[in-house]
Chains A and B, each alone.
Chain A
Amino acid sequence: MLEFNAQTIAFIVFALFSLGGALGVVTTRNLIHATLYLILSLFGAAGFFVLLSAPFLAAVQVLVYIGAIAILIVFAVMLTRSMTRISDLYNRQWLLSAIVAGILFVVLLAGVIVPVWGVNGTQIDRPVSDVVAGTVDLGKALVDQNQYVLPFEVASLLLTAAMIGAIVIARDDQE
């Protein structure tokens, strides 16, 4: 059963951060507050990574997502007409979005539950894998030709293309 120790308390706190923050993002009428709720939610996710012994992903979560919140605020200020008094909480596509989000939630939930509690699933008292992989393993897996080198290289190519595209667009035509 559920053991009540420091890890459980931390899990509950991070879960509250993550879910409460997400709820705050979609219910507040103030865009700045929404971004701050987003920080809370992402911080909760980073906490989960720490609990799962994946400190590298936790740090990357903070660096990439929370570190970019300032940019998000800049975009919010530049691209929206009213920052603090959003009049409509829903737009016309809310029904479609709700259906897609619901299906995605069910699929993800099934993806978690079936391997653990399903017919041939591992039970809750046994970990899914005995191997504890560290940051070095992650680094090697990303460049191993039998594992993730292709997705890794494709992602790098995409980011490089995006960077060059941004430079080309931002370039002054006179020069």
Chain B
Amino acid sequence: MNEVVCSINHVVKCLTDAGVTPDLANLLTIIGGVVLVATVPLITVIFLIWIERKVAARVQDRLGPNRVGPFGLLQTVADALKMLTKEDITPIGADKFIYNLAPIIAFATVILIWAVIPFTPLHIGADLSIGLLYFVAVASIGTVKIMIAGWSSNNKYALLGAFRTIAQLLSYEVPLVLSLLIPVMIAGTMSMQGLVHAQGGMWYVFMAPVAAVMFFIANLAETGRAPFDLLEAESEIIAGYNIEYSGFKWGMFMAGEFMHAFTASLLAAVIFLGGWWGPGVEQVPVLGFLYLGLKTFVVYLFSLVLRSTVPRVRIDQLMALNWKWLVPISVANVLVTAFLLQLTKALGLAPQTGDFAAALPQTIILLLGNLAIVLVVLNLVRNIGRNERMAAAATDAAVGHSEDERVAVGAPGH
């Protein structure tokens, strides 16, 4: 990690001192930075798969991989080597060029997100003024890869799986973007580094907990993690959009999915958990890597435990949850937060300096607004649940349904 510690300005100076022309030195450092930022996720994914398998094993009271290397650490390496040696099959009638293009897009769209992630106050690929929008734009390309993978495989099930996946990804993009609007409104900037700097006094998870939860749920769906892992459904569409892929191309889809899940946790840590902020980070910026890593890991661990504990939802429940609950709540959240932000500005309670005490009044007001939203939602859920139970009881009394059948029919949100 020593190259990373040396900030980009330093590298240029080192090179020009060694007799390289400034233009070439700039180009070299940019290329070096790109290679570095793109390689880190590739290395990380090997360990992520190991962590995921270990955590899932612990939750299910198993041991997990423990044969290859210490604690089974090298199991993923062995798996990757096995994948490389598998036969690479292209189905007859496949559209060869786009069939081969899809896995590349799948991986590239995830790695591109890493370009705007601020790891420390100094280390960021590119601090764009539209960093957050860049993330949303790059993530939206992800739908294309699924569609062309599903189409070019020349397989009905792949195409059906792709259609279903598109429906899921596009639906959950709405609450995702609406929940990202909240931090942008509070910070007044879309730059990732600006968002992290604005959280110096208070993390946004305390100012906008509803938005943070929305972002987490929408990201679970966007990355296709349980309970929203409908991208693959063996009993319904055999395997989903990547059914015809084998060997390394399939491996790229799989690694892309793992990376995406981790990147989502990383973004949650950056946008809602204060990014690289932590004790002493202003004196020693390198500590940012540690703090961001810890925060990311907490979010990631939570999603892993969730993945191995909850059952999956049905496709109609998935859509109902999004359009009947997440989208209205997100819209209400945007309205309430915008109103409260203007209110605090009018009352003169908006933070002037970036410390904890200055951010406190605004946080309390926003927190109360969030609490109101949560109370309304909980009340709605309770009423709908009660009405459903009473309707079911009425049908029971009339028809005489058994208890089991009623449970099977009574899906939430209907």
Contacts and interface: CB of A to CB of B under 8 A. Distances in A.
Interface of A: 30, 32-33, 36, 39, 55-56, 59-60, 62-63, 66-67, 69-71, 73-74, 77, 84, 134-135
A59 B151 CA distance: 26
Interface stretch (B64-72, B142-150, B229-237, B266-274): B142-150
B133 interface: yes
A132 B140 CA distance: 29
A32 B96 CA distance: 12
Prevailing SS type, chain B contact patch: helix
Prevailing SS type, chain A contact patch: helix
A60 B48 CA distance: 32
Contacts of B98: 32-33, 36
Contact of B159 (A67, A71, A77, A84): A77
B130 A67 contact: no
Given A56-B133, A63-B136, A69-B143, 7 more contacts: A55-B128, A55-B134, A62-B137, A63-B137, A67-B144, A73-B147, A74-B163
A71 B170 contact: yes
Given A32-B95, A36-B98, A55-B129, A70 B137 contact: no
A73 B129 contact: no
Contacts of A73: 147-148, 151
Interface residues of B, number: 24
7 contacts: A59-B136, A63-B133, A63-B136, A66-B137, A67-B140, A71-B170, A135-B190
B184 to A, nearest CB: 11
A60 B163 contact: no
Interface string B104-140: 0000000000000000000000001110011011101
B137 A67 contact: yes
A55 B130 contact: yes
A146 B144 CA distance: 40
B187 interface: no
Contacts of B141: 62, 66-67
B15 interface: no
B144 A74 contact: no
Contact of A70 (B134, B146, B190): B146
A74 B140 contact: no
A25 to B, nearest CB: 15
The 7 closest A-B pairs by CB, nearest first: A67-B140, A70-B143, A62-B137, A63-B137, A70-B147, A59-B133, A59-B137
Nearest to B414: A175
B166 interface: yes
B152 interface: yes
A31 to B, nearest CB: 10
A70 B151 contact: no
A66 B147 CA distance: 13
A67 B145 CA distance: 10
A33 B96 CA distance: 12
Given A55-B130, A59-B134, A66 B190 contact: no
Contacts of B146: 70
A77 B163 CA distance: 10
A32 B152 contact: yes
A62 B109 CA distance: 12
B67 to A, nearest CB: 41
Contacts of B128: 55
A62 B146 CA distance: 17
Contacts of B151: 32, 73, 77
Contacts of A84: 95
Nearest to A78: B163
Contacts of A55: 128-130, 134
Given A32-B98, A32-B152, A39 B144 contact: yes
A39 B98 CA distance: 13
Nearest to B101: A36
Contact of B130 (A33, A59, A69, A71): A59
Contacts of B148: 32, 36, 73
A44 B123 CA distance: 29
Interface string B161-172: 001001000100
Nearest to A72: B147
Contacts of B152: 32
Contacts of A56: 129-130, 133
B341 to A, nearest CB: 15
B52 to A, nearest CB: 28
Contacts of A67: 137, 140-141, 143-144
Contacts of A71: 166, 170
Interface string B204-235: 00000000000000000000000000000000
A70 B163 CA distance: 9
Max count, chain A CB within 10 A of own CB: residue among B138, B144, B190:
B144
A66 B98 CA distance: 16
Nearest to A46: B137
Nearest to A54: B130
A21 to B, nearest CB: 14
A63 B138 CA distance: 7
B98 to A, nearest CB: 6
B133 A70 contact: no
A157 to B, nearest CB: 16
A69 B147 CA distance: 9
A55 B129 CA distance: 8
Contacts of B190: 135
